[in-house]
Amino acid sequence: MSRRLYFDWAATAPLRDEARAAWLECAGAEFGNAGSAHQWGRTAKAALTRARRTFASALGVERDDLFFTGNGSEANLLALHGAIAALPRERRHVLVSPIEHPSVLEPLETAARRGEIELEHLSVDRFGRVDPEILRGRCRPTTGLVSVQLANHEIGTLQPIAAIAATTRTHGALLHCDATQAIGKTLVTVPALGCDLLVISAHKFGGPRGVGVLARRRNVALTTPLSPGRQEQGLRGGTEDFASCVAAAAALTATLTEQVALASQLAELSALLCARLRERLDDVTFHSSETYGLPGLVNFSLPEVRGDWLVTALDQCDVAISHGSACASLASLPSPVLVAIGARERALHSIRVSMGRATTRDDIEDLVARVHAAVVKLRLP
C-alpha cells in the first residue's frame, strides 16, 4: 500500500496530543455535571470556567461574552438569529457576502423567506474579496447586521475585516465574522478585527469535534433561537460537555503558540504546491489568491476533469482531498463560491487542497505525483 496523505485539514484536523490528554484527564475521575452543587459538580464547573477564560483571553473578550456551542454551525446560528431577534424592527436590513459558509447563508435565507429580515448579497471580486467602499454604499439607515467571513472555506480568501468593521461601526450595524478556517493561521481577536460577533470551531485546529465557540463584543444583545436554559447565560440549554471544552482550550493554547511558525510553513508549502502543479499540469487554473489567500489552502481546477472524479481517484490512491466544503462536498451542483467569483465554467472541476502542522515538503511532492497520474488516467479516451 502507498503512504497515506491527508490534505483535507480545512474539513477537520487530527486531534492534538494536548487535547487528547486534557480530555482523558477530565473524562476519568472528574465526571461531574457542571451545573451540580456538590464537589463533583464544582470541580467540573471550575474546569469549564478555566476553559472559557482561555478562549475569552485568546479572542479578546470578557469571560461572560464567550459561549460554547455544539459546533461552529450552531455558533453561527446562535450569532445570526440571536442578533436578528434582538435588533429593532426598523434595523432588519442584513448584508452578507455570497461566498459565506452554508451555516451562514442558509439561516439568513430562511429568515428572509419568513419575512424576518430584508436580505441582500454583497458583490465580491474575482478573488472573493468584499470591497469596503462598495459595502459603504450598500449600507442604509435600516442596516442592522453585516456578515462576512474572515477566511473562505473553499478558496481561502482573507477578507479586509478591519476595514469592513470600520464601515459597519459608522452605520451602527453589527458585524458577524465566521473565522473558523483562520484560527491558528492568522490573528483572530475581536478587538483586532473590529467585529461584534466572532465564531470558531475547535476541530479545525486540533480540538475535539462537538465544540463551537461564539465570542461577542461587550453589550451586544443576543436572543436565543434555541431551547432556552440556564447554561451559557440562558442562550443554550443542556448539560455542558466540559471535558471537550477543556480539551479544546488545550488545543487552542498549543495552536496559538505555533501560529507564526505554522503560517510561514504553510505559505511555503502552498507556494511549492502551486509551482509543482504548474510544472506537471500546464492547463491548471488556480482559484486561490497568492496575495489574499489563507496559508495552507489551495483551490485549483483542471479542464476535462471533474472535481468529484479526482477526489474519488485520489481516495483510491490513499490521498484525502476535497471538492469543496465538507458541508457541501457531496452535492453535484456547481460550487456557489466559484460561481460568485466568476468561475462558473470551472465550478464542477474545482479541487481544494488544505494542509496543516504535520504536512511536509515530501508530502507535497508525493501529492503532485499522484494527482498527475490520476489526471492522466481520467483523461484517457
Please list the active-site residues: 327
Whole-angstrom distance, CA of residue 220 vs CA of residue 86: 9
49: exposed, middle or buried (Cβ count in 10 Å: 0-12, 13-18, 19+): middle
197-201/212-216 β-pairing: antiparallel
The vertex-288 CA angle with 168 and 119, nearest 5°, equals 35
Whole-angstrom distance, CA of residue 304 vs CA of residue 210: 38
Whole-angstrom distance, CA of residue 257 vs CA of residue 54: 13
- Helix ranges (H only) for the chain are 17-27, 39-59, 72-86, 102-113, 132-138, 161-170, 190-193, 242-280, 307-315, 336-340, 361-378
The vertex-219 CA angle with 215 and 221, nearest 5°, equals 80
Which residue in 71, 97, 70, 67 sits closest to 83, CA to CA?
67
Q: Which three cell numbers stand for residue 84?
A: 436578528
CB under 8 Å to 374, separation ≥6 — which residues?
310, 313, 314, 317
Whole-angstrom distance, CA of residue 240 vs CA of residue 43: 13
The alpha carbon dihedral of 188, 194, 200, 204 has a sign of: negative
CB under 8 Å to 112, separation ≥6 — which residues?
94, 118, 119
Whole-angstrom distance, CA of residue 2 vs CA of residue 43: 47
CB of 101 closer than 8 Å to CB of 327: yes
